[in-house]
Structure 1
Amino acid sequence: MVTDHHYYPLEVEIANYLANEWSVPVLLGIFAAVCASIVIGTVVVIDKTHPNLPKGEKAAIWWFVISGAIHLFFEGYFSLNHTRMGPAQDLFGQLWKEYAFSDSRYLTSDPFVLCMETVTAFTWGPICFVVAFFITNSHPLRHPLQIIVCVGQIYGLILYYATSMFDHYYAQITYSRPEFLYFWGYYFFMNFIWMVFPGILLVSSVRTIARTFSALDKLTAAKSNGKANGHTNGHANGHANGHAKKTI
């Protein structure tokens, strides 16, 4: 059964749709409170267990923990429940229906959105937690994994924007309502966060790895020069001693 709704395009079919029972301020307030609790809890734990970590490293941990939680639990919820989003009235279901005013594909089991969110939830989500842990003990795999997850997040976001814009400009299909809150607030800003922070962390990791290899190359070159000089000096000293013996 397809019921009336206010999503774009207005003719899109949303099976068994039920309007949200909770108001927008309540939904967003609960979501913000949960996110704040995760961040504050992470801050308290890290400050107690690793007080000497630089502030930048602590901030990276906070980001990966909240990012991993949103990926795994919130986006994972969508991946597992995409076929019954229309009538859903639990917290995550209502949050997704509110967000869907900016992208109705989340209520129609759109293949791209479903595949993208599934990869994000069950690949990037767990890796975010692994990277956060690796930061605390300076694990050598921290930066390679950080690069992988950041590239994955940025690539997924680019495809997310691109597929929506392609349909908008070439197929004349609009998934977002025109109001400022939905397009610029939900669709653009709330997603663009995953362009900014992963971009910063990606650049940081690339620079760190570049500096490490540069230092390694210099060390290797210095060792090679030292061996070469030692061999040359040893050969020269041996030749000189042999010449002196012959002279005596």
Structure 2
Amino acid sequence: MIAPTPKHPYFPLTANVINYEANNYHFTTLLALFAAGCAAIFGATYLAMGRVRPHLPTSELLILLWFVLCGCIHTFFEGYFVLHQQAMAGQQHVFAQLWKEYCYSDSRYLTQDPFVLCMESITAICWGPLSFLIAYMIATKHPLRHPFQIIVSLGQLYGDILYYSTSLFDQYILDITYTRPEAYYYWVYFVGMNAFWIVIPGYLIWSSVKWTGRAFKALGSTERSMNGNGSLKKQL
């Protein structure tokens, strides 16, 4: 008996992908478009900051660029998924084709999986706008920058850890694999592209905790100094 031809290229082949249509663009074109979009975001932000804060330290500029990129990806790209996830498999919008390319590494995005839908909804609604807010706070040296940076970075880190762990649980415990067998899709798409939201938020949390600790230490020293001066004046 001849096995039926799969209706889509995603794993598991039995996954219910509604109204699937193959992409019009080659994957190299899609990756080039994504890279060009990121470069445009970086370039526009860099030029804007050259006028607004020309003497912003390089380390701060890099963090600001990161949050602007996060804001764009979370709000627009992941927001597109949240709004169109039911019909995305049959669409040819550039964002839809980028998602369908990424889905070779994780087909859950094409099957109305409740976890990825809830996670991406929180990301698009909360972490996207707040990322733009943090970029603004960095540019204006706002005193609440580090508390917000901890909140957003922790949300990104926590969401990414859950994203990895739920997929690995299904793979190794339930024997359900969402990634095609080609190593490229697993290591470059699934592991590599998501690792940024482990490494960078982890560093930013550590950095903000250090800055917060220093601020409270300096405040405590100031208060002790003021209290000491007050006691000395009373004695005199």
Distance 2:22 2:50 in 1: 43
Alignment partner, residue 89 of structure 1: 92
Matches within 5 A, 1:108-119: 108-119=111-122
Whole-Å separation in 2 of the counterparts to 1:99 and 1:45: 31
- Deviation per CA, 1:92-123: give whole Å up to 9, x if none: 11110000000000000100000000110111
Q: Could you tell me how far apart the structure 2 residues matched to 1:7 and 1:100 are?
A: 7
CA shift, 1:49, in A, is 1.7
Of the candidates 15, 28, 32, which is equivalent to residue 29 of structure 1? Answer: 32
How far apart, CA to CA, are the structure 1 residues paired with 2:56 and 2:38?
23
Match of 1:51 in 2: 54
Deviation, structure 1 residue 155: 0.5
Residue pair 1:3, 1:17 contacting (<8 A) in 2 also = no
What is the one-letter code of the residue matched to 2:157?
A: I
Moved over 3 A (4+): none
Unaligned regions of 5+ residues in structure 2, if any? none
Letter in structure 2 aligned against 1:195: I
Give per-residue Cα distances to partners, 1:20-62, cap 9 Å, x unaligned: 1110001111111011111111111111221111111111111
- What does residue 66 of structure 1 align with? 69
Does residue 1:134 correspond to 2:144, yes or no?
Answer: no
Greater C-alpha radius of gyration = 1
In structure 1, the residue matched to 2:163 is 160
Is the counterpart of residue 125 in structure 1 residue 134 in structure 2?
Answer: no
The equivalent residue for 2:198 is: 195
The SS at the match of 2:63 is helix
Specify which of 173, 195, 220 is matched with residue 217 of structure 1: 220
For 1:100, which of 96, 100, 103 is the aligned residue? 103
Deviation per CA, 1:62-94: give whole Å up to 9, x if none: 111011101100000000001002211110111
Are the equivalent residues in 2 in contact too, given 1:3–1:15 (CA < 8 A)? no
In 2, Cα distance between equivalents of 1:3 and 1:87: 16
| C-alpha contact 2:45 2:65 (8 A) present in aligned 1 | yes
CA–CA separation in structure 2 for the residues paired with 1:137 and 1:87: 43
Q: In the alignment, which residue of structure 1 is the partner of 2:150? A: 147
Partner of 1:243: none
Structure 1 unaligned segments of length 5 or more: list them: 235-248
If asked which structure has higher relative contact order (CA below 8 Å, sep 6+), I would say 2
How much identity, in percent, do the aligned residues show? Answer: 48
Number of aligned positions between the proteins: 232
Deviates more, 1:220-229 or 1:169-178: 220-229
The aligned residue for residue 246 of structure 1 is none
Give me the whole-angstrom Cα distance separating, in 2, the residues matched to 1:51 and 1:123.
29
- The structure-2 alpha-carbon separation of the partners of 1:184 and 1:9, relative to structure 1 and needing over 3 Å to count, comes to same
Aligned amino acid, residue 226 of structure 1: N
